[in-house]
Structure 1
Amino acid sequence: MADATQARQAAANAGAGVLTLEREAHTLADRLPEILINAQRIAHTVAHGLHGRRRSGPGETFWQFRQFQSSDTLRQIDWRRSASSDHLFVREREWEAAHTVSLWCDLSPSMDFRSHLAPVTKRERALLITLAAAELLVRGGERVSLLGLTPPSASRKATTRMAEAVLAHEGSEAQQATQPPKVTLARFSGAVIVSDFLDPIERTRTHIEALAADGAVGHLIEIVDPAEETLPYDGRTEFLSPDGGQRWVADRVQTLRARYQERIAAHRAEVRELAQRMGWSFLVHHTDHSPTEPLLSLIMRMQGSGADHRWQSQESATAEHLQQPEANR
C-alpha cells in the first residue's frame, strides 16, 4: 500500500515538473520573438559607425569594385564594369578567413532572478546580449555558434537558428547547467561566455580553462542584478534558492550588508583574475543598465580597440559604489 502511494506521489511530482517546464517553455516562446527583435535592433544600433572584420582578399564571393592601380595586372580588370565609365575597375573578392566565435549564455534557474531594481531577469538580459553579439559578429563576416547547441555558421539566419535552438532545448539538462560544456576550442577561435558566475571559483576555473586550453581568446560578461550586489533590504527578509527548495530567513538583514558586499567583491576579483591570467577580457553588466553598453564594449574589444572605455569604467563605477558609505546610496 505504501509503495503504491509513493508511486502515485512520484507520478504526481513528475507530472507537476512537466507542467512547470511546459509553462516555462510557453513563456519563453512568447518572449523569444521580442528578445530576438530587440537583439537585432540593438545590434543595428551598435553596428552604426563600426566596421566589421570583412575585407578584400582571396575567395570566391564578390566584395567590391575599385579603380585600377598600376600594381594590378590586366587580367584583374572587370571590362564590363569599366565599359560604363571613363575609368578602369578591378573586381575584388571577399577574404574568406573568418574566425569562429562560440557563444554560451547561462540559462540555469539562478538566472531567473529579478529584483525590484531591475526591469528584466538576468536570463532575459543574458540571452539578449548573446543573440545581439551573434548578430553583430555575423554582420562582420564571422562564423558563430551556440556552444553545445548549434554548429558554426556565417548565415544571416544564424541568430534566428540560435533562438530556435534555445526554445527547442528548453528545460533540458544542458540549459540547467551553470557552466559551459568542457570542450577545447580551436586555436585562434573566440568565445563569449555570459553568466552570473556565482558558482564556486574552482568550478568556473575548470570549465573556462578547458575552453582556453589551445589558446582560444575569450570574453566573460558577468550579468548582475543590482540587488545581488548591494543587498538593499532591511529588517526580516526571507531568501529562497532558485528552485525554491531551500529557505533562509535573516532577522536584521542590513547587519549582513557590509560582509556580504565584501564576499561578492572578493568572488568577482577571483573571476577577474582568472580572465586576466588567460588573457581574456572581463565585463560586469547590471540589468538596470542599457544592454548596448556591454555589447559595444565587447565588439570594440574583439576588434582590438583600446577605446572600449566602458569596459573599465563600469567596473570602476561598481567598485566606487560598493565603497560608498551606506548613507550616500
Structure 2
Amino acid sequence: MRLEAPPASTEAYDGRSPFPHTEQHLGGVPARQAALTAAIVVAPFIALGAGIWLAWGEGITLTDLLLALVFYVVTGLGVTVGFHRLLTHRSFTARPWLRVTLAVAGSMSFQGNLIDWVAVHRRHHAFTDQPGDPHSPHRYGTGPGGQLRGLAHAHLGWLFTSEPTSAARYAPDLLRNDPAMLRVSRAFPALCAISLLLPFAAGWAISGGLYGGLTAFIWAGLVRVALLQHVTWSVNSLCHMIGERPHRTRGHDRSTDLWPLALLSFGESWHNGHHSLPSLARHGRGPRRIDPSAAVIKLFERLNWATDVHWLPPDALQHRRTVAGKRTLRGTT
C-alpha cells in the first residue's frame, strides 16, 4: 500500500480558508482504479433505473422488499458495528467468530476493504475538518462556492483524489497483528460478488423463476448497495455541514448530529456525539437519540458475545451536555 504525503501543517489553519495544496491532489488516480470506483458508484444507479422499468405496471414484489431490507440491515450493521465501532475505535471486544462475521458483513457493503476503510476513518479523526482530513466538506473554504464544492468532495469526490492513506500508519494493529482481518480484507472482491449473488439466488429460490432472481438482484443487490453507500457518504458530508452540535469537540471539528439519517444510518448520524468521545459504543446520547447499532452491541453484551463495552456513565452525559450548553450560550461553538 502506498504511503501518503505528510499532511500540510495545521498550525496556521484558521478554520475558514481552503486547505493548502488541495488542487494538486485532484485526479492522478490510476485509470484502472478510477474506472473500478466509478463502476461501483454508477452501476447501482443504472440498476435503479432498470428496476423501475421492470417494476412499471407490476410494482415491486414483497420478496424483493424483504430481501432488500435483510441485506441492508446485515451489511449496514457490518459497517457500523463491525468496521466502525469494533475495528476502527475498539468500542468493545468481540468473540473471534463474531469479529469475523461482522467484518465479512461490512465487506459486503461495497465500501472498500476493511483495513483501508479503518485507516481512512482513523485519519479523518486525526485531522477532522483541517488539512489532512481525507473527506472534509470544508476543504475548499467556507464561502458558498467552496462549501458546495466541498460537499461534493466529502460525499463522493474524495474517492477520485490522489491522496492515499497509509494502512501501515493508521491501521498497523490490523495489518500486522490480525491475520483473520487481513484475510477478510484480501477477500473483498469475492465478498462483493457474494453480496450480489446471494440476493439473486434467494430471489430465484423463493419465486421459483429467473425473473424473481433478476429483480432481487437489482433491488436487494445493486439498489441496496447504492442506498447504503450514499447514507454512509452522507455522514461524511452532511454531518459536517448541517445539524446540531450539542457536544463539545476539539479544534476545527464541525461534526453535527443529524436526526433524519439516524435510522437509515443505524445511529451513525449522531456524528457530533461520536466525535466528542469516539471510543464510545453509543453515538446517540440523550433522549430520543435512536441508535440501532448501540442496541445491537448491547444485545451482544447480554449474550456474552461482546465484552469490555465502552458505555458513557450517566453523570458524564449530564456534565458534557451542560458544558456544551454553556459554550453555545457564549457563542464559542
TM-score by length of 1: 0.26
**Structure of larger gyration radius:** 1
Q: Which has the higher contact order (CA 8 A, sep 6+)?
A: 2
Indicate the structure with greater strand content. 1
